[in-house]
Amino acid sequence: MAVLNDIFHALWQHDFSVLADPKVLWVVYTILFVTLFLENGLLPASFLPGDSLLLLTGALIAKGVMSFIPTLIILVIAASLGCWLSYIQGRWLGHTKLVKGWLLQLPAHYHQRAHELFTKHGLMALLIGRFLAFVRTLLPTIAGISGLSNARFQLFNWLSALLWVGVVISLGFALSHIPVVKRHEDQVMAGLMILPVLLLVLGLTGALLMVWKKRKCKSTLSAGKCKTKPAE
């Protein structure tokens, strides 16, 4: 906890020398790795703020806290392994009550978007869907349920992870060098730090609210009080 507190204060005070300390930096890498792995791999964790953390990572690379290539490799591995876990869920556990329950917790429009992408674009959907929150977690599960071979899946899994991580951290790196952004560096860094936390809170709140509504709907269905929205 002391290290996490040091990381928070270093980010807030823009003390990048503290973050660059190897003893602290490995904790930062661990947090990023676990977050990307879970967001890409587990449906209940699909609300985690992967995109915003990658933007913050790009900004930290611009400040010399991290090196681009090692960071890219570590985070691509995290995203790819997470995506593979999602695929395995669909391939081997897709028809279990646990995974079916997870699928039912996601809003219907994410299911629709993921199914449309996979139906129209096949494996290319993994490249497109990787840039869409929630969809990037759901698509590999759908691919697994469809019976897609692991060999074909892995090619697009690793390629899409490389594109997603590379593009978003490069965007964060590039934004840090824009003159207007550099003039308001303190505010931008504060925003990049607050954004993942805000998205995490909103995502968790939304997920809990959705679960509560579904359970309430289920409990009142027999009484005829739960009205379902007609399909469009």
- In which residue are the tokens 């959907």 written? 125
pLDDT of residue 40: 93
pLDDT of residue 79: 96
Contact 41, 85 (CB under 8 A): yes
DSSP tally for the chain: helices H, then strands E: 12, 0
DSSP-based three-state secondary structure for 39: helix
CB neighbour list of residue 210: distance below 8 Å, 6 or more residues apart: 105, 107
pLDDT of residue 84: 94
In whole angstroms, what is the distance from residue 15 CA to residue 6 CA?
Answer: 10
pLDDT of residue 232: 37
pLDDT of residue 69: 96
In whole angstroms, what is the distance from residue 59 CA to residue 55 CA?
Answer: 6
Q: What sign for the dihedral angle of Cα 20, 26, 27, 33?
A: positive
In whole angstroms, what is the distance from residue 61 CA to residue 35 CA?
Answer: 18
Render the burial of 182-198: b for 16+ CB within 10 Å, e for the rest: eeeeeebbeebbebbee
Contact 117, 135 (CB under 8 A): yes
In whole angstroms, what is the distance from residue 38 CA to residue 74 CA?
Answer: 14
pLDDT of residue 228: 45
pLDDT of residue 36: 95
* Segments in 131-184 forming alpha helices (H): 135-145, 150-175, 179-183
pLDDT of residue 215: 66
Q: What is the DSSP letter of 44?
A: G
pLDDT tens-digit profile, the chain (232 residues): 677 777 777 777 777 888 888 888 999 999 999 999 999 998 888 888 889 899 999 999 998 999 999 999 999 999 999 999 989 888 877 677 767 676 666 666 666 767 677 777 767 778 888 888 888 888 888 888 877 788 888 988 999 999 999 999 999 999 888 887 777 666 776 677 777 767 667 766 765 666 666 666 666 655 555 544 443 3
CB neighbour list of residue 108: distance below 8 Å, 6 or more residues apart: none
Length of the chain counted residue by residue = 232
Structure tokens at 104: 């039912």
Cα 43 to chain centroid, rounded: 10
pLDDT of residue 176: 85
* pTM of this structure: 0.78
Contact 207, 44 (CB under 8 A): yes
